[in-house]
Amino acid sequence: MAKAPAGFKIRLAPEDEYTHTPDAATNYNESMYFNMFDPARKIGGWFRIGNRPNEGYAEMSVCLYLPDGRVAFMYAKPAITHNRELNAGGLRVEVIEPFKRLRVTYDGKVVVLSNPNDMAEPSRAFRNNPVVACKVELDYEGVSPMFGGETVKEDGSALDIDPEKSFAKAHYEQHVAATGRFIIGDEAFDASGYGLRDKSWGPRYWQAIHWYRWCPMNFGRDFGMMLSIVAGEKGEPRQGGMVLKDGKYDLIKQVSIDSDWDENWYQTALRAHVVTESGASYDVEGKVLSLIPLRNRRQAPDGSELHTRITEGMTEYRCNGMVGYGLSEYLDQIVDGKPVSIGG
């Protein structure tokens, strides 16, 4: 379990796996995210469904990385009228047993990108690439303790949150194993591997964070990590995450990530140094195998356009002589055509 600041505590209960009564904030979001990567077949994917019931729609994303470098992707904002379930746009999450077993299914369409960078211009990507039927069936099993929850006051009362500056009031994560299959057009792929899932709820704007690095990875059932660096416009970036080893989490107190970039400022490789609360240290190298750039745009109250870019890279990791797989997810606000984290 993550640690709370003095005067606060972190609360997490099995019923938090299900949906909550929405806050009054217009931008209330409740979402679940899952990824998985098959180390033998070199395939993987991630899935996110986020309800925004006060705005009348859900956000649905499906992303599948194929062995030859192609990426199958779909994003939609289907209309919803309630927050009773996470089931919209063909993507559905079922809680079979809280904290232990969940099921993710998708029945819809995907665009198949031979050049995933095409998604930098979504309308052009969908127009110029084939759109085919897709089915996903994955059964998830928790292989770690839960990490995170809702930060509340010592008396259990909720925090006061400014919805305009919020990314989530509650968030938890868990390393997982997953088995199932993807069917993309006339191609079928069995998949068995490892990943990470998370859930969050509360007010959210993607522009509430200046930039972040989020690197979940698995080297097997008993060894995995999640590296996190989160930066606001002011102050030092927050470093954190955890190392899963032998069924227990060792929290990260220090992490540095040095990245290599291509001409578009998309990450191609990374090197991370990790120090945990127990005193253990790890050096991790990552090589991006396939990457898709995504974006989120919103108009600010002053009329200016805010542009957030999220690059999602299926990444091969190496640590302590082991090879694992996971994601390197880099979020940046884009200012004058350049990610804010790069500087200069």
pLDDT at 344 over 80: no
Q: Which residues, 6+ apart, have CB-to-CB distance to 8 below 8 Å?
A: 151, 152, 153, 154, 159
- Residue 3's pLDDT is 57
Secondary structure (3-state) at 10: strand
Domain of 124 in residue numbering reads as 24-204
Burial of 269 (0-12, 13-18, 19+ CB in 10 A): middle
Position 163 scores a pLDDT of: 44
Between 79-93, 194-208, 235-249, the lowest mean confidence (pLDDT) is in 194-208
> Which DSSP letter does residue 303 get?
S
* Per-residue model confidence (pLDDT) at position 282: 98
- Considering the domain architecture, whether residues 36 and 179 belong to the same structural domain is answered as yes
Query: What H or E segment, with its residue span, contains residue 124?
Result: helix 122-128
What pairing do the DSSP bridges indicate for beta strands 322-335 and 28-38? unpaired
| Judgement on whether residues 111 and 192 belong to the same structural domain of the protein | yes
Whole-angstrom distance, CA of residue 312 vs CA of residue 292 = 5
Instruction: Tell me, yes or no, whether 287 lies in a domain.
Output: yes
Q: Report the DSSP beta bridge partners of residue 151.
A: 10
What CATH number has the domain bearing residue 83?
Answer: 2.40.370.10
Mean pLDDT to the nearest integer, 210-232: 95
Question: What pLDDT score does 297 carry?
Answer: 73
Beta bridge partners of residue 31, listed in sequence order: 50, 200
Domain membership flag for residue 118:
yes
- Residues near 110 by Cβ (< 8 Å), separated by ≥ 6? 62, 64, 72, 73, 74, 131, 132, 134, 184
φ and ψ of 122, to 5 deg: -55, -45
Cα-trace Rg, the chain: 19
Express each pLDDT in 145-179 by its tens digit.
Answer: 999 998 776 655 565 544 444 445 789 999 999 99
Count of domains for the chain: 2
198 and 243 fall within a common domain:
no
177, 204, 231 — which closes off a domain? 204
Tell me the pLDDT band of 89, cut-offs 50, 70 and 90: very high
In a shared domain, residues 216 and 179: no
Residue 197 is assigned to a structural domain of this protein: yes
For residue 301, the model assigns a pLDDT of 67
Looking at the fold, whether 139 and 212 belong to one and the same domain comes out as no
For residues 223 and 317, is the Cβ–Cβ distance under 8 A?
A: no
For the entire predicted model, the pTM comes to 0.91
Is 242 inside any structural domain?
A: yes
Last residue of a domain, one of 204, 223, 240: 204
Average pLDDT score over residue span 97-125 = 97
> What is the per-residue pLDDT for 37?
98
- Phi and psi (nearest 5°) for 67? -60, -25
Residues 6+ apart with CB under 8 A from 233: 210
Residue 36 confidence (pLDDT) above 80: yes
* Residue 92 region by backbone torsions, left for phi larger than 0, else alpha for psi between -120 and 50, else beta: beta
Note the pLDDT tens digit of each residue in 240-295: 999 999 899 999 999 999 999 999 999 999 999 999 999 999 999 999 999 999 98
Quote the pLDDT of residue 278.
97
Average of per-residue pLDDT across 71-92: 97
Is residue 63, in this structure, part of any structural domain at all? Answer: yes
d(CA 193, CA 197): 13
pLDDT of residue 182: 97
Cα–Cα dist 110/262, whole Å: 26
The helix (run of H) or strand (run of E) holding residue 125 is: helix 122-128
Question: How much of the chain exceeds pLDDT 70, in percent?
Answer: 89
Which two three-digit tokens encode residue 181? 């299959």
What pLDDT does 167 receive? Answer: 44
Is the domain of 219 the same as that of 189?
no
Q: Are residues 87 and 199 in the same domain?
A: yes
- Is pLDDT above 90 for 137? yes
What is the number of other CB atoms lying within 10 angstroms of the CB of residue 28?
A: 23
**Are 167 and 303 contained in the same domain?**
no
Same structural domain for residues 170 and 38? yes
Residue 135, pLDDT > 90, answer yes
Q: Which of 70-84, 149-163, 282-296, 314-328 has the lowest mean pLDDT?
A: 149-163
For position 232, what pLDDT does the model report? Answer: 84
